[in-house]
């Protein structure tokens, strides 16, 4: 048996790019080159002037095109990341009671924030064990449904479908799904995300595609409730319409996000990006099913995420040892979600990643496993 710190993966097996993390995720080197080209004309310039506002405008219209949004939907954005939407929701989105599908770290966090909020009714929380997801239940007293298209902590995805006969808002945490999974805008009212996952940019920003119904709710609640300005989605809406943010955004993040949106549009849009992720994740799942030491964590194939693949290892192989060796060889962030506590690896298969690199990764894992077993 090899000392596990000394396993050296042959160079010819290595992927071209060793970043497989679920966020922050791989940033395309070409996007960084593009950013370097505007290092003196865009970076370090006012976000209230055309240079930056034009980029925000391109992000807003580009996302409208990418997500195939109806004309009356709007892209709103602000600082704070997707997590900020949960804090804002208790002021600007939930009238009195929400329903949450809770099936992992991120979806349960949102549910907890609402539960702890003194001015709202206790939310209806429908939970399932990690590795699956629960179904929404139509409820008359609920004015907002909180869904998560891809639970990044477990690699479980769900179909976004508006519950029947409801005029409640449907909000979707699409942080790791947006840009890598198809979605039908008629099925949601607010589809929110951050740029550091499928969009291969950096963190710190949130974006949301809002339906007229969501905009009405935001306007109504912000006019009758006190809202801290950073959490005021009406303020975010007003600024977004001017291609600005309420306070100063990270300009490099905006630039890289726009670069990625334009890259996706140029290559064929969301269906192209979603197919690329599907191809990559299929490589991982097929590989796991063919190996006796590995198996996909999510049993139901329809719930297996196309953008974040979680793979269990059997007791003989320590997933954390494998991830550690991969890391020492420049293959980064294959560790499972820290709080899930399984003998598992987690691989992001966002559109940025070349499916060939996913293929190479599986060969590297095979090499490491045979070296240590
Ligand atoms: C990453 C992630 C978040 C948190 O995003 P931040 O930008 O860190 O606020 C929320 N939900 C899901 C599903 C995520 O993957």
pLDDT of residue 6: 84
- For a mutational test of ligand 1's pocket, the pick from 175, 181, 203, i.e. the residue with the most ligand atoms closer than 8 A to its C-beta, is 175
> How many other CB atoms are found less than 10 A from the CB of residue 233?
28
pLDDT at 166 (0 to 100): 80
Does ligand 1 have an atom closer than 6 angstroms to the CB of 153?
A: no
pLDDT, tens only, 321-350: 999 999 999 999 999 998 888 999 999 999
Side-chain-side CA neighbours of residue 111 (13 Å): 19
Q: Virtual CA dihedral for 128, 133, 135, 140, nearest 10 degrees?
A: 70
Query: Separation of 22 CA from ligand 1 center, angstroms?
Result: 10
> Could you tell me the distance, in angstroms and rounded to a whole number, from the CA of residue 40 to the centre of ligand 1?
31
Tell me, yes or no, if the pTM score tops 0.95.
yes
Which whole number is the average pLDDT over 255-281?
A: 98
Return the ligand 1 atom nearest residue 149 CA.
13
Does 255 score more than 90 pLDDT? Answer: yes
Query: What is the reported pLDDT for 76?
Result: 98
- Is residue 4 scored above 70 in pLDDT? no
Q: 310: which strand partners?
A: 346
Nearest CA, atom 12, ligand 1: 175
| Ligand 1 within 6 A of CB of 82 | yes
Average pLDDT over all residues of the chain: 97
Q: Is 357 in the pocket of ligand 1 (CB under 6 A)?
A: no
Q: pLDDT tens-digit profile of 104-135?
A: 999 999 999 999 999 999 999 999 988 999 99
Going by C-alpha positions, the residue among 137, 209, 127 that lies closest to residue 168 is 137
Mean pLDDT throughout 305-322? 97
* Whether the CB of 202 sits within 6 Å of ligand 1: no
- 202 Cα–ligand 1 center, Å: 12
The interaxial angle of helices 212-224 and 233-241, nearest 10 deg, is: 130
The band of 197, judged by pLDDT with boundaries at 50, 70 and 90, is: very high
Averaged pLDDT, 66-73: 98
Cβ of residue 148 lying under 6 Å from some atom of ligand 1 = yes
Please give the sequence-ordered ranges of beta strands (E in DSSP) within 130-253, or none if there are none.
Answer: 144-148, 150-151, 156-157, 169-173, 190-193, 205-210
Q: How far apart are CA 337 and CA 309, in angstroms?
A: 11
Percentage of the residues of the chain whose pLDDT score is greater than 90: 96
Atom of ligand 1 nearest to the CA of 205: 7
Which amino acid residue places its CA nearest to atom 5 of ligand 1?
82
- As given in the structure block, the two tokens for residue 242 are 């001017």
Task: Please report the pLDDT score of residue 206 as a whole number.
Answer: 98
State if residue 83 touches ligand 1 by the CB under 6 angstroms criterion: yes
The CA 260 to ligand 1 mean position distance, Å, reads: 18
Could you give the percent of the chain with pLDDT greater than 70?
Answer: 99
Phi/psi for 28 (5° steps) reads -65, 130
Ligand 1 centroid – CA 125 distance (Å): 19
């Amino acid at each position: 048996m090899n000392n596990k710190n000394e396993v050296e993966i042959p160079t010819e097996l290595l992927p071209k790019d060793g970043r497989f993390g679920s966020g922050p995720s791989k940033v395309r080197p070409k996007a960084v080159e593009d950013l370097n080209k505007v290092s003196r004309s865009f970076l370090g310039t006012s976000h209230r002037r055309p240079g930056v506002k034009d980029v925000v405008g391109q992000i807003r219209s580009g996302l409208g095109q990418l997500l195939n949004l109806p004309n009356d939907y709007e892209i709103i954005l602000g600082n704070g990341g997707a997590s900020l939407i949960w804090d804002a929701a208790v002021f600007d989105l939930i009238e009195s009671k929400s329903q949450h599908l809770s099936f992992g770290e991120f979806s349960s966090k949102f549910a907890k924030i609402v539960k702890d909020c003194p001015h709202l009714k206790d939310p209806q929380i429908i939970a399932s064990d990690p590795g699956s997801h629960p179904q929404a239940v139509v409820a008359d007293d609920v004015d907002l449904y909180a869904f998560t298209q891809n639970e990044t902590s477990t690699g479980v995805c769900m179909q976004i479908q508006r519950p029947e006969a409801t005029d409640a808002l449907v909000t979707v945490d699409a942080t790791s799904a947006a840009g890598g999974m198809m979605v039908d805008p008629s099925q949601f009212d607010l589809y929110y995300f951050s740029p550091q996952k499928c969009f291969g940019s950096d963190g710190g920003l949130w974006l949301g595609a809002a339906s007229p119904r969501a905009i009405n709710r935001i306007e109504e609640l912000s006019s009758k409730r006190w809202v801290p300005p950073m959490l005021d989605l009406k303020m975010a809406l007003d600024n977004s319409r001017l291609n600005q943010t309420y306070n100063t955004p990270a300009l490099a993040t905006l630039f890289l996000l726009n670069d990625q949106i334009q890259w996706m549009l140029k290559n064929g849009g969301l269906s192209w990006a979603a197919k690329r992720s599907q191809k990559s994740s299929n490589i991982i799942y097929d590989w796991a099913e063919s190996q006796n030491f590995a198996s996909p964590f999510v049993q139901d194939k329809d719930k297996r995420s196309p953008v974040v693949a979680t793979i269990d290892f059997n007791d003989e192989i320590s997933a954390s040892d494998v991830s550690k060796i991969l890391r020492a060889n420049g293959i980064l962030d294959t560790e499972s979600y820290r709080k899930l506590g399984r003998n598992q690896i987690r691989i992001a298969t966002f559109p940025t990643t070349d499916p060939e690199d996913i293929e190479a990764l599986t060969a590297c894992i095979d090499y490491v496993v045979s070296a240590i077993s």
